[in-house]
Chains A and B, each alone.
Chain A
Amino acid sequence: MKEIYLDNNATTKVDEAVFEEMRPYFCELYGNPSSMHFFGGQVQNKIDEARKRVAKLLGSLPEEIIFTSCGTESDNAAIRSALEVFPEKRHIITTRVEHPAVLTLCRNLAKRGYRVTELSVDGEGRLDLGELRKVIDNDTAIVSVMYANNETGVIFPVEEVGAIVKEKGALFHTDAVQAVGKIPMDMSKSTIDMLALSGHKLHAPKGVGAMYLRKGVSFRPFMVGGHQERSRRSGTENSASIIALGKACELAGQFMLDENTRVKAMRDRLEKEILARIPSVRVNGCQAERLPNTLSIAFEFVEGEGILLLLNEKGICASSGSACTSGSLEPSHVLRAMGVPFTCAHGSIRFSLSRFNTDEEIDLVIRELPPVITRLREMSPFGRDLLSSH
């Protein structure tokens, strides 16, 4: 059975063209980019080319790109740097719906004596800029607000956030791991000071990322050692993966229109057909602006794990909004922050598409999903009244 992969916000397939681009850099062109000989030097040239490709996708200057080992590292490096740049400032602002890469760090910093404000979101997952204006002050060192949410796909108004942050003289970082490659952005006209992206979310391999650092913004590196990445991120470069990330960014630019037309149309169709075919369903964040590839959808009176495992039997890969592990028996922090009712939050499923999905695959999901939900609802002590009333 060929899998139907609809979990692209978790990770993506490496594009074959990306793989071809990186392939020579393991067994043949394995030189150290810092070496004086040409054998290593040619790798440095390819890394510089990759830097230009990433910069082009973001609309930045090549020297504003620092390669890292992952999205999490980029987030950590940015936030920790800002705190060192402003040692006298003790306040951090973020949101309740950030990825753990930001949220866990901020909560740890709170234990170390920093004042941390987590901005709330409304029922559609939207930010209240009024709240930001109220809490930001001269003590605020950094504001970290994600570009788009990994679970719901809701896009935040980062430019407006950045404008408010600028007025107070703080730094603005955005976790754009889910946004880069899916929606266009232009750092040359942006209020963003620092931005995190991750290779494995845009068809490059896992374990490589980058951070954008606006020219002129002070930076205190997190990793120190050699002079790599102009001493802003020491450690011998993961050359093959960096070269892959460059290629993946080039391709993402080329497929940007496809993502926002064909992929979006598939997502919209999936959403519309599910709503038409299955009763008591709600789309999380449906009133908000969302990424073109993401659908977070709640099926009342059933629990997410059962849905996932039954879909798994049909070869369909998706993910659930509630990790039913007892350590985190509560539904995801994102859905909780949105105030999604418990009845829905436990049965929330995320479908996240990519350019590799096809209309036939979406047809199959539309066909296979309704019986899965019916079956689980028939088993449930709560779902039956609903079924009989239909």
Chain B
Amino acid sequence: MWDYTDKVREHFLNPRNVGEIKDADAVGEVGSLACGDALKLYLKLDEKKERILDAKFQTFGCASAIASSSALTEMVKGKTLEQALHITNQEIADFLGGLPEEKMHCSVMGQEALEVAIAKYMGTEVKSRPHDKEHLEMEGAVVCKCFGITDLFLKKVIGANKLNTAEQVTHFTKAGGGCGGCVPKIKELIAEVIGGEPKEEYKRPEKLTNLRKMQLIQDTLEKEVRPLLWADGGDLELIDIAGVKVQIAFRKACAGCVSSGQTAKFVELKLREFVADNIIVEEVEG
């Protein structure tokens, strides 16, 4: 059961402003059936075409998507277009007393629909997700094929919400929540946006002193190998280094594991990649 605030529950059970505005000045549509949520936002402006007089929505999606849409329509009423454009997805979430992080994408969808509606009214382009029906031919490359989400959109959300893990990006945009194939690319985008250097191609040092080599072997095992074994409940220990021979012993789930032979091969490959081509890994009891 989701941990929704009373306000979310209340806006879900009694959503405000459901429906269409037949003579709307601005309409923004985002999402699709395939994605599992979609929102169509209608805005009616005053005579001077400055302020939002009325707002209505139609939403397909989970309870927090409906609550976010309801909140959004309440928030924009009476605002000028300029003011409305400044509403952030966090403000939508705050209006509802917060959303579970896994559901933040609902508030992002609201903010996005608003942006699309206003941009279309003003005749400007929105560099948003391609599944906004009218912007199929937009700039930006699709990063997440499962949900049709572009790098431009991801960068915007990462920046606005200061996201720093791929998981968070999934919570906020859904990207990465399907097949997971785009997760490495998402990590690169995070690195780009939050200023961190994207991981550089590793360059192996040309010549190694023995001491340096031993250190490099240890570093590689620590950083590149053991974390992967831990993920499967295993571990290894470095027993000895003699010339190009590296002796290791498997621990925990790896110890006595029928496929430890393969794991040893994997360790060898890693060491050859990061240290030197002639490394030989031996498994020993220890």
In the complex, the answer to whether A303 meets B61 with C-beta atoms within 8 Å is: yes
Q: Distance in Å from the Cβ of A129 to the closest Cβ of chain B?
A: 28
In the complex, the answer to whether B58 meets A379 with C-beta atoms within 8 Å is: yes
Task: Write the residues of chain B forming the contact surface with A, with a CB cutoff of 8 angstroms.
Answer: 2, 9, 12-13, 15, 18, 29, 33-40, 58-63, 65-66, 102-103, 105, 146-147, 167, 170-171, 174, 177-178, 232, 257-259, 262
State the CA gap A330–B18 with chains docked (Å).
26
In the complex, the answer to whether B232 meets A112 with C-beta atoms within 8 Å is: yes
In the complex, the answer to whether A378 meets B18 with C-beta atoms within 8 Å is: yes
Q: Distance in Å from the Cβ of A124 to the closest Cβ of chain B?
A: 22
State the CA gap A305–B8 with chains docked (Å).
13
Give me 21 A-to-B residue pairs in the complex whose CB atoms sit less than 8 angstroms apart, sorted by A's number. A87-B258, A113-B259, A303-B36, A303-B60, A305-B62, A309-B9, A309-B63, A322-B36, A324-B61, A326-B171, A326-B177, A327-B102, A327-B167, A329-B35, A329-B174, A330-B178, A343-B33, A378-B18, A379-B60, A382-B33, A384-B58
The interface bits of chain A over 292-321 (1 if a CB of B lies within 8 angstroms of the residue's CB, else 0) are: 000000000111111001100100000000
In the complex, the answer to whether B146 meets A330 with C-beta atoms within 8 Å is: yes
Q: Distance in Å from the Cβ of A2 to the closest Cβ of chain B?
A: 19
In the complex, the answer to whether A379 meets B33 with C-beta atoms within 8 Å is: no
Task: Write the residues of chain A forming the contact surface with B, with a CB cutoff of 8 angstroms.
Answer: 83, 87, 108, 111-114, 301-306, 309-310, 313, 322, 324-331, 342-343, 346, 378-384
Contact of A303 among B18, B37, B146, B167 (CB under 8 A): B37
State the CA gap A303–B66 with chains docked (Å).
10
- Give chain A residues whose Cβ lies under 8 Å from the Cβ of B171: 326-327
- Give chain A residues whose Cβ lies under 8 Å from the Cβ of B259: 112-114
In the complex, the answer to whether A381 meets B38 with C-beta atoms within 8 Å is: yes
In the complex, the answer to whether B177 meets A381 with C-beta atoms within 8 Å is: no
In the complex, the answer to whether B60 meets A301 with C-beta atoms within 8 Å is: yes
State the CA gap A381–B58 with chains docked (Å).
5
- Give chain B residues whose Cβ lies under 8 Å from the Cβ of A303: 36-37, 60-62, 65
Contact of A301 among B33, B34, B147 (CB under 8 A): B33
Top 3 closest pairs, chain A to chain B, by CB? A113-B259, A305-B62, A329-B177
Dominant SS among interface residues on chain B: mixed
State the CA gap A78–B52 with chains docked (Å).
64
Most-contacted residue by chain B among A302, A309, A324, A328 (CB, 10 A): A324
Q: Distance in Å from the Cβ of B253 to the closest Cβ of chain A?
A: 9
State the CA gap A329–B59 with chains docked (Å).
17
In the complex, the answer to whether B60 meets A383 with C-beta atoms within 8 Å is: yes
Contact of B177 among A305, A330, A343, A346 (CB under 8 A): A330
Among residues of A, the one whose C-beta sits closest to the C-beta of B234 is A112
Contact of A112 among B12, B39, B257 (CB under 8 A): B257
In the complex, the answer to whether B33 meets A326 with C-beta atoms within 8 Å is: no
- Give chain A residues whose Cβ lies under 8 Å from the Cβ of B38: 380-382
- Give chain B residues whose Cβ lies under 8 Å from the Cβ of A114: 259
- Give chain B residues whose Cβ lies under 8 Å from the Cβ of A108: 232
Can you add 12 more A-B contacts, CB < 8 Å, to A112-B259, A327-B177, A381-B58? Answer: A305-B62, A309-B12, A313-B13, A324-B61, A329-B36, A329-B174, A329-B177, A343-B34, A379-B18, A379-B58, A379-B60, A381-B59
State the CA gap A143–B82 with chains docked (Å).
63
State the CA gap A66–B147 with chains docked (Å).
46
In the complex, the answer to whether A326 meets B66 with C-beta atoms within 8 Å is: no
State the CA gap A328–B262 with chains docked (Å).
31
- Give chain A residues whose Cβ lies under 8 Å from the Cβ of B232: 108, 111-112
In the complex, the answer to whether A306 meets B66 with C-beta atoms within 8 Å is: yes
- Give chain A residues whose Cβ lies under 8 Å from the Cβ of B178: 329-330
Contact of B63 among A305, A331, A381, A383 (CB under 8 A): A305
In the complex, the answer to whether A346 meets B33 with C-beta atoms within 8 Å is: yes
Query: Given contacts A303-B37, A306-B63, is CB(A381)–CB(B29) below 8 Å?
Result: yes
- Give chain A residues whose Cβ lies under 8 Å from the Cβ of B15: 379
Among residues of B, the one whose C-beta sits closest to the C-beta of A377 is B60
Q: Distance in Å from the Cβ of B232 to the closest Cβ of chain A?
A: 6
In the complex, the answer to whether A324 meets B36 with C-beta atoms within 8 Å is: yes
In the complex, the answer to whether A306 meets B170 with C-beta atoms within 8 Å is: no
Among residues of A, the one whose C-beta sits closest to the C-beta of B103 is A326
In the complex, the answer to whether B177 meets A306 with C-beta atoms within 8 Å is: no
State the CA gap A331–B36 with chains docked (Å).
9
State the CA gap A83–B58 with chains docked (Å).
53
Q: Distance in Å from the Cβ of A312 to the closest Cβ of chain B?
A: 9
Q: Distance in Å from the Cβ of A82 to the closest Cβ of chain B?
A: 13
